[in-house]
């Protein structure tokens, strides 16, 4: 395949990833209460998180319409980097060396898969 991947597609997929990372933050905010029962499961934060998650699929679908998946999927790793940052900011989760190392290994892996896909 020699289909070029337009920059607009790359930006759309990155936008989707960043929206998705905020989606994860709100899912965590909404999922935090451990009480059982529907009224605790369905709360505003969770619904907003789901909305962001679903919303993020719109630029994603628009992005993957043109271009190669093997080029576009690595852009999703932007979301993992953002999420680790948001976890620190919003939930006070420490950024430890194993976490940072694992993230770097994963991003390197995704880049390698990308290189293999070209």
Confirm or reject binding of residue 22 to another protein (CB under 8 A): no
Q: Among residues 69, 75, 67, 70, which one has the least CA distance to residue 3? A: 67
Best CA proximity match to 34, nearest among 23, 47, 43, 24: 43
Q: What minimum distance in Å lies between the beta carbon of 89 and another protein? A: 11
DSSP conformation letters of 16-64: HHHHHHHHHHHHHHHH-----SHHHHS-HHHHHHHHHHHHHHHHHHHHH
Contact status: 115 vs another protein (CB under 8 A): yes
Contact 80, 106 (CB under 8 A): yes
Shortest separation between residue 41's beta carbon and another protein, angstroms: 8
The yes or no reply on residue 109 touching another protein (CB under 8 A) is: yes
The yes or no reply on residue 89 touching another protein (CB under 8 A) is no
* Chain positions contacting another protein, by CB under 8 A: 21, 24-25, 27-28, 30-32, 34, 41, 46, 49-50, 53-54, 57, 60-61, 64-65, 69-70, 73-74, 76-77, 79-80, 83-84, 86-88, 91, 93-96, 98-99, 101-106, 108-117
């Amino acid at each position: 395949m020699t289909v070029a991947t337009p920059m607009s597609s790359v930006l759309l997929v990155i936008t989707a990833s960043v929206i998705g990372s905020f989606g994860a933050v709100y899912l965590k905010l909404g999922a935090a209460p451990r009480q059982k029962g529907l009224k605790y499961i369905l709360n505003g934060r969770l619904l907003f998180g789901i909305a962001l998650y679903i919303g993020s699929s719109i630029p994603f679908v628009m992005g993957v319409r043109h271009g190669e998946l093997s080029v576009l999927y690595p852009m999703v790793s932007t979301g993992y980097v953002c999420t680790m940052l948001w976890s620190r900011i919003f939930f006070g989760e420490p950024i430890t060396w194993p976490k940072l190392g694992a993230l770097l290994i994963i991003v390197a892996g995704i880049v390698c898969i990308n290189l293999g896909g070209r």
